[in-house]
């Protein structure tokens, strides 16, 4: 019987399934050579003792063994310092699917300290440029934990903190992690082939930052909602300052099924010293953002956005898409939907090319100021096969627009286009009632 128990315990540890066993059946430590329990290195999980040294000892022991799993059983682990996960090492908690804790909105539901593996982070409060809490390296992984900043006040403007996670080296991964109330969540820069999958939480200032990537980064199922706090003071600060997804230089970035709610900017594409972004963005969404999508610069190869959903109605000038004057690259939005009582769907500037194909434009000009849905100041624009659902001004072409193709669109009443340029553009085959 003892032999069978040891075999079952080993299998469950290797698969990360210890939480499926009845309480008391699953031991907190293990003798498996490639699995290192933090309890064997002095970690208590009582929410009070500083676990920094114990965790780092376990991580270093796994590294000395040429890789392994550092397992943190159910508990609350308090940290006054930061951790480095060495190459080929996984730091793992009990969660096999990303959890959610609804915090002050639903005080009757479980808090992050009630279940699972929770890291309580306190280092560098007020020091935004301090050391990240966890730094990942070549082939290292963080999986199955909740990260919580207990000194953040859900009723007040947030304290600044450094990045919660920094991804470095080759193939670092963050899987099944809840970043409940990080100030800056994930710095996914200066690495190759990062993988971020199944992430939730409410990052307050920045969600995921990508830059200096030269080999295919991947982000899947990252959803940022105000589950920790919707208290007026904090949420208003987030709406004025928060940026959910920021992309600098990244060669062939892949982003799938991501979402954010309640930020100043949902998705932001910028120029850094390393360059700008190109990539494939499928099924992305932004709700209640001042501007859902901002493009300061994109690469010539294109930022390709398909099946997106964007809603803007808060802030001084709620807008779905804004392409700035410095953009010289290509931005294409295909089969995307835009709704919510915004001022305008898009403001387009720069010398690049921006395309809307098979898109649905539901609402704009909420104050009846005769604002056009698409305001094209300069560059090249393609609007093809789209549906405008309001009988309001639809497209404005400014004096500096170089080229425009507007065809095969539908609208109630007449398609209302204002051309302020001396150029003649291709406008044809639009169906109106």
* Residue 372 belongs to some domain of the structure: yes
Angstrom CA distances, 246 to 205, 255, 347, stand at: 11, 12, 19
Q: Is the dihedral of CA 391, 394, 396, 402 positive or negative?
A: negative
The pLDDT, as a whole number, for residue 36 is 97
Is 156 found in the same domain as 44?
A: yes
Please check whether residue 289 lies inside any domain of the structure. Answer: yes
Q: Are residues 161 and 15 in the same domain?
A: yes
| Integer CA distances (angstroms), 198 to 41, 45, 143, 227, 255, in order | 29, 25, 10, 16, 12
For 180, the domain range is 1-206
Please report whether residue 133 resides in a domain. yes
Question: Does 262 fall in a domain?
Answer: yes
Q: What is the pLDDT along the chain (433 residues), one digit of tens a residue?
A: 444 444 545 554 455 444 433 333 334 555 677 999 999 999 999 999 999 999 999 999 999 999 999 999 999 999 999 999 999 999 999 999 999 888 766 777 788 999 999 999 999 999 999 999 999 999 999 999 999 999 999 999 999 999 999 999 999 999 999 999 999 999 999 999 999 999 999 999 999 999 999 999 999 999 999 999 999 999 999 999 999 999 999 999 999 999 999 999 999 999 999 999 999 999 999 999 999 999 999 999 999 999 999 999 999 999 999 999 999 999 999 999 999 999 999 999 999 999 999 999 999 999 999 999 999 999 999 999 999 999 999 999 999 999 999 999 999 989 999 999 989 899 999 998 7
Classify the phi-psi angles of 6: left when phi > 0, otherwise alpha if psi is within -120 to 50, otherwise beta: alpha
Q: Is 54 domain-assigned?
A: yes
Say whether pTM exceeds 0.85.
yes
Q: Note whether 278 and 335 are same-domain residues.
A: yes
Say if residue 327 is exposed, middle or buried (CB neighbours under 10 Å; 0-12, 13-18, 19+): buried
Q: Residue 234: inside a domain, yes or no?
A: no
Rounded Cα distance between 185 and 178, Å, is 10
Task: For residues 176 and 274, state if they share a domain.
Answer: no
Query: Residue 200: exposed, middle, or buried by beta-carbon count in 10 A (0-12, 13-18, 19+)?
Result: buried
Task: Give yes or no: residues 45 and 146 share one domain.
Answer: yes
Q: Where are the beta strands (DSSP E) in 111-238?
A: 117-121, 134-136, 141-143, 146-148, 163-167, 169-170, 173-179, 184-189, 191-192, 195-201, 206-211, 218-224
- 195/331 same-domain check: no
Assess whether 259 and 186 both reside in one domain: no
Neighbours of 129 (CB within 10 A): 9
pLDDT at 8: 47
How many domains in the chain? Answer: 2
Q: Is 379 left (phi over 0), alpha (psi -120 to 50) or beta?
A: left
Q: Which residues does 395 contact at the CB level (< 8 Å), separation at least 6?
A: 372, 373, 374, 376, 383, 406, 415, 416, 417, 418
In a domain, 213, yes or no: no
> Are 202 and 248 members of one domain?
no
Q: Identify whether residues 397 and 310 lie together within a single domain.
A: yes
Statement to judge: residues 154 and 7 lie in one domain:
yes
- pLDDT tens-digit profile of 43-100? 999 999 999 999 999 999 999 999 999 999 999 999 999 999 999 999 999 999 999 8
Domain end call among 181, 206, 231: 206
Residues 164 and 312 in one domain: no
Residue 403 and residue 314 share a domain: yes
Is 229 contained in some domain? no
Q: Which of 154, 180, 206 is the last residue of a domain?
A: 206
Q: What is the pLDDT of residues 392-412, one digit of tens each?
A: 999 999 999 999 999 999 999
């Amino acid at each position: 019987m003892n032999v069978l128990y040891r075999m079952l315990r080993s299998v469950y540890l290797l698969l990360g399934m210890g939480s499926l066993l009845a309480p008391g059946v699953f031991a907190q430590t293990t003798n498996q050579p490639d699995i290192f329990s933090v309890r064997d290195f002095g970690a208590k999980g009582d929410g009070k003792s500083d676990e920094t040294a114990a965790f780092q000892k376990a991580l270093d022991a796994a590294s000395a063994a040429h890789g392994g799993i550092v397992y943190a059983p159910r508990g609350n682990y308090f940290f006054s310092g930061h951790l480095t996960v060495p190459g080929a090492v996984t730091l793992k908690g009990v969660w096999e699917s990303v959890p959610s804790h609804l915090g002050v909105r639903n005080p009757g539901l479980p808090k992050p300290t009630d279940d699972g593996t929770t890291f309580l982070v306190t280092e560098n409060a007020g020091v935004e440029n301090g050391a990240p809490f966890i730094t990942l390296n070549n082939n290292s992984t963080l999986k199955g934990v909740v990260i919580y900043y207990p000194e953040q006040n859900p009723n007040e403007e947030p304290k600044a903190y450094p990045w919660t996670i920094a991804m470095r080296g080759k193939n670092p991964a963050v899987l099944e992690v809840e970043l409940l109330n990080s100030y800056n969540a994930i710095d996914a820069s200066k690495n190759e082939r990062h993988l971020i999958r199944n992430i939730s939480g409410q990052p307050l200032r920045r969600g995921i930052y990508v830059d200096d990537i030269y080999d295919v980064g991947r982000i899947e199922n990252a959803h940022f909602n105000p589950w920790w706090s919707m208290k007026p003071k904090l949420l208003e600060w987030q709406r004025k300052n928060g940026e959910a997804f920021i992309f600098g230089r990244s060669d062939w970035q892949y982003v799938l099924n991501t979402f954010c709610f309640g930020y100043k900017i949902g998705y932001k594409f910028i120029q850094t010293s390393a360059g700008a972004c190109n990539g494939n963005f499928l099924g992305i969404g932004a709700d209640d953002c001042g501007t859902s999508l901002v493009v300061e610069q994109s690469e010539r190869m294109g930022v390709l956005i398909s099946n997106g959903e964007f809603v803007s109605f808060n802030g001084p000038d709620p807008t779905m898409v804004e392409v700035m004057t410095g953009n010289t690259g290509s931005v294409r939005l295909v089969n995307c939907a835009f709704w919510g009582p915004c001022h305008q769907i898009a403001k387009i500037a720069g010398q690049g090319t921006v395309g809307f194909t098979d898109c649905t434009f539901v609402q704009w000009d909420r104050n009846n100021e005769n604002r056009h849905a698409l305001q094209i100041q300069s560059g090249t624009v393609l609007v093809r096969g789209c549906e405008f659902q309001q009988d309001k001004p639809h497209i404005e072409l400014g004096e500096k627009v170089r080229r425009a193709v507007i065809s095969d669109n539908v609208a109630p009443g007449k398609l209302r286009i204002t051309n302020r340029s001396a150029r003649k553009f291709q406008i044809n085959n639009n169906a109106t009632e």
